[in-house]
Structure 1
Amino acid sequence: MKYQNTLQFAQQQDKEDKLSYLRNRFHIPKDKKGNNWLYFTGNSLGLQPKATKEYIQQELDDWANYGVEGHFEAKNPWMPYHEFLTGNMAKIVGAKPIEVVVMNTLTTNLHLLMVSFYRPTKTKYKIVIESDAFPSDRYAVQSQLKFHGFSEEDVIEWKPRKGEELLNIDDLETIVSEQGDEIALLLIGGVNYYTGQYLNLKRIAEIGHSKDCVVGIDLAHGAGNISPELHNSGVDFAAWCTYKYLNSGPGSLGGLFVHEKHAHNKDLPRFAGWWNHNKETRFNMRQPFDVMAGAEGWQLSNPPILSMAAIKASLDMFDEVGMEALRKKSEKLTGYFEFLINQIDSDDIKIITPSNPKERGCQLSIQVKNANKSLHKKLTENNIITDWREPDVIRCAPVPMYNSFEDVYRMVSILKGLL
């Protein structure tokens, strides 16, 4: 659409926005004078839905009233509680219910998945990651290599071309074509945390599988932000957190995807616990381990209900709105954000996130020339909450559930003044 660099235009877009009502369902942090912060860091921690307290209170009340019987008598019985999240989560990531489970935290899930899917041999053992993968992913794959008797040097990095910030998928194809006989696993961030680049998951899967490599995806910055269509992509597994775009609260549980093609393979090696044993015989005790089919077969322990209640509050809202509507608004809102930044006459900043809306979510990464974090600090002093990532990027995420066009306009106006 044709954007305009005026407050009136931004306010008119908010009036016409069919999802603008969602903003009132969130707690917007305020400064000491009672003014709303301009909050652009849902890519690190999403805001709290107002309904979250009610959802958690329900479980606290049922715990008080039923004690252990809450596993069966609570309004939302605790025994199958994780199943209440599965359908909505599957819709968000484009998966079948059998392929998804909410459990543990992101890096724990990646390790559990690599127990099953990183099966190195003497000749096929290397792991491919992005050169600027999130540190946790790098640490995870390095430790897996060491655990299996290999070296940190057996990590292969998919790098941007010289003088560029973004990854070129043709380069990944070259890496796999030339070294695929030695590569056991590709573990790639579906949306890069630093640049905000959204990668073509289907093509990544095709490239990896062409050389019999397993393909896994870290969707920490993708779940609730883009529509990854995990099932159709053909990737073998994925994991993500829920406290960013899924608004579940600090340190909340993560999600896990295992493609349906692996759902009934009981021979896959895995760590075992009570909760991935057949639910029909789980309480018979003293039974040989009988792993559950699908993603549930990677669970270990009974889940923390209070954390899941917060996730349920958010997922119910996502189900009400739908990812299609959220993505439509996101592309429009982020497009306006990009337009306004590009209107600033300054050589001190530039956007390194792809300009093609299909190659990004809502995050724009603003690279700062001669960066020393002072610009980010000044934004914070003006009650604009963004996110700094070394060495030189301010990450900003206008989240379609609670950010407005006026938020974007006011943020860029202040940024222009500071520059």
Structure 2
Amino acid sequence: MNYQYSAQFAAEMDAKDPLARFRDQFLFPKVQDKQAIYFCGNSLGLQPKSVKNYLTQELDNWANLGVDGHFHGEDAWYYARKKSKPALAEIVGAQEHEVVAMNNLSVNLHLLMVSFYQPTAERYKIIVEAGAFPSDQYMLETQVKFHGFDPEKAIIELTPREGEHTLRTEDILAEIKEQGDALALVNMAGLQYYSGQVFDMKAITSAAHAVGAYAGFDLAHAVGNAVLDLHDWGVDFATWCSYKYLNSGPGNVSGIFVHERFAERPDLPRFAGWWGHDEGQRFLMEKGFAPMYGADGWQLSNSDVLGLAAHQASLDIFLEAGMKNLRQKSEVLTGYLEFLIEEISGESGVLEIITPKDPAQRGCQLSLHIHRGGKDVFDEWYNHGVVGDWRNPNVIRLAPTPLYNSFMDVFRFAEILEHSLKKFA
């Protein structure tokens, strides 16, 4: 792609973008009374305009049907989880019975650890990337302690080589092999939130299985963003949130993936709840937990119907747009942002892109290491309408999201970048 730093080029790219029409299906916040250049879908996705109608429908069902809404009406609440399955399966590369929307991300991480972290005196170690998202760090620390192990000895944190910002796949695989029979679990991010690196989940899973360990991933920053093929990769389990690239609202419902080889494993340890029990026998109200087939068997409580309604508004847009199409645009749009940053910043020494250049190793997020100016650079951009994300000590994350961002958004940011460099160069 021969990118150009010009408004004409950006306008031409938008004009021929087959996904451009989806931009109008989202609501954009304002900064300084102007529509924001919103590059923060990696923290909170924009609200689809259709959310209000989806919620209103469920509120009407509640008002008109009361408790009968569980079994009557167009979308009976008893089966509410089923509606999201086709889209979730497409987005993460799974069979529909391998996915279910439930709970929140940290809750699901703990629940899945109950099943997939069963340490012994000999096999108890966990591999994770250093600097994992805090929730993952706390989850692993407390799970290890719960089983009576020392986190300092049980948790192996992988760090990049000296002078590098991201992990090399060969180093990850080498550490898995090195830990061998002592390794119980590899539990990494699918996309590292700070650097923006997408890990080779297929290779990592294969290596973990080769030494007898499980492989699971936190897909908070990967779902709806990176290419995922969890079933064919053989991943044991995964979980994600829906409020970032899935645009489902702040703190909204999470989702899980459990590979179908565990679909009928009642012997697998788990913490059970009513909604995970055999659907056909649930109202017999009897003792003896019989898990539902597939990922549904990990459910605990009945579904958050209003949360699922907001979730579905965005998922229906994803189904219409198609993950393959979104990914194709993402590579070009993120490539344009990368080109303009490098073109404008040049040898200024103010910033450095630490996210991998290879599109296969990143999603739409670019992480910028700020060498001079610190948070003042971020504040300068925000004052001109750019909504990004600051992460201590000195990284700005920008995520041009293909579902609602345009090439003109990227060009407008470039103009702001050029202006700001005069202050900080």
TM-score category of the 2 structures, normalised to the smaller one:
over 0.9
Counterpart CA distance in 1 for 2:268 and 2:372 is 50
Please report how far the alpha carbon of residue 370 of structure 1 lies from its aligned counterpart in structure 2 after TM superposition: 3.9
Superposition pairs for residues 361-380 of structure 1, below 5 Å?
A: 361-370=363-372, 372-380=374-382
Q: Which residue of 1 aligns with 2:66?
A: 67
Q: Which residue of 1 aligns with 2:178?
A: 178
Q: Is the 8 A contact 1:62 1:75 kept in 2?
A: no
Show CA shifts across 1:1-39 (max 9, x none): 111110110011001111100000000112353x21110
Counterpart CA distance in 2 for 1:75 and 1:259 is 30
Counterpart CA distance in 1 for 2:173 and 2:229 is 21
Counterpart CA distance in 2 for 1:80 and 1:173 is 41
Q: Which residue of 2 aligns with 1:238?
A: 238
Counterpart CA distance in 1 for 2:414 and 2:259 is 42
Q: Which residue of 2 aligns with 1:319?
A: 319
Q: Is the 8 A contact 2:166 2:197 kept in 1?
A: yes
Q: Which residue of 1 aligns with 2:214?
A: 214
The amino acid across from 2:111 in the alignment is L
Q: Is the 8 A contact 1:371 1:392 kept in 2?
A: no
Counterpart CA distance in 1 for 2:418 and 2:183 is 47
Please report how far the alpha carbon of residue 158 of structure 1 lies from its aligned counterpart in structure 2 after TM superposition: 1.2
Counterpart CA distance in 2 for 1:388 and 1:183 is 35
Q: Is the 8 A contact 1:371 1:391 kept in 2?
A: no
The amino acid across from 1:244 in the alignment is K
Please report how far the alpha carbon of residue 350 of structure 1 lies from its aligned counterpart in structure 2 after TM superposition: 1.0
The amino acid across from 2:131 in the alignment is D
Q: Is the 8 A contact 2:218 2:240 kept in 1?
A: yes
The amino acid across from 1:177 in the alignment is K
Q: Which residue of 1 aligns with 2:102?
A: 103
Superposition pairs for residues 83-98 of structure 1, below 5 Å?
A: 83-98=82-97
Q: Which residue of 2 aligns with 1:402?
A: 404
Q: Which residue of 2 aligns with 1:258?
A: 258
Please report how far the alpha carbon of residue 207 of structure 1 lies from its aligned counterpart in structure 2 after TM superposition: 1.0
1:330 aligned to 2:345?
no
3-state DSSP of counterpart to 1:316? helix
RMSD: 0.9
Superposition pairs for residues 227-306 of structure 1, below 5 Å?
A: 227-306=227-306
The number of residue pairs the alignment matches comes to 418
Greater shift in the superposed pair: 345-354 or 214-223: 345-354
Q: Which residue of 2 aligns with 1:149?
A: 148
The amino acid across from 1:106 in the alignment is L
Counterpart CA distance in 2 for 1:193 and 1:218 is 10
Q: Which residue of 2 aligns with 1:116?
A: 115
The amino acid across from 2:419 in the alignment is G
Q: Is the 8 A contact 1:59 1:74 kept in 2?
A: no
Q: Is the 8 A contact 1:241 1:253 kept in 2?
A: yes
Q: Is the 8 A contact 2:32 2:383 kept in 1?
A: no
1:164 aligned to 2:164?
yes
Show CA shifts across 1:368-397 (max 9, x none): 004531111111111110001111110000
Q: Which residue of 2 aligns with 1:81?
A: 80
2:415 corresponds, among 395, 413, 416, to: 413
Please report how far the alpha carbon of residue 237 of structure 1 lies from its aligned counterpart in structure 2 after TM superposition: 0.4
Q: Is the 8 A contact 1:93 1:223 kept in 2?
A: yes
Q: Is the 8 A contact 2:195 2:367 kept in 1?
A: yes
2:351 corresponds, among 344, 349, 352, to: 349
Counterpart CA distance in 2 for 1:288 and 1:120 is 26
3-state DSSP of counterpart to 1:166? coil
Q: Is the 8 A contact 1:333 1:400 kept in 2?
A: yes
Show CA shifts across 1:159-211 (max 9, x none): 10011001011111221222122111110101110111111111000111111
Gaps of 5+ in 1: none
Q: Which residue of 2 aligns with 1:386?
A: 388
Greater shift in the superposed pair: 91-100 or 286-295: 286-295
Greater shift in the superposed pair: 369-378 or 77-86: 369-378
1:125 aligned to 2:155?
no
Gaps of 5+ in 2: none
The amino acid across from 2:406 in the alignment is S
Please report how far the alpha carbon of residue 151 of structure 1 lies from its aligned counterpart in structure 2 after TM superposition: 1.0
Q: Is the 8 A contact 2:31 2:383 kept in 1?
A: no
Q: Is the 8 A contact 1:237 1:259 kept in 2?
A: yes
Q: Which residue of 2 aligns with 1:44?
A: 43
3-state DSSP of counterpart to 2:216? strand
The amino acid across from 1:131 in the alignment is A
3-state DSSP of counterpart to 1:286? coil
Counterpart CA distance in 1 for 2:269 and 2:25 is 44
**Identity %, equivalent residues:** 51
Q: 1:410 to 1:32 in 2, by over 3 A?
A: closer
Counterpart CA distance in 2 for 1:274 and 1:134 is 31
Counterpart CA distance in 2 for 1:201 and 1:96 is 18
The amino acid across from 1:391 in the alignment is P
Counterpart CA distance in 1 for 2:12 and 2:220 is 33
The amino acid across from 2:360 in the alignment is K
Show CA shifts across 1:77-98 (max 9, x none): 1010100111111110000011
Q: Which residue of 2 aligns with 1:193?
A: 193
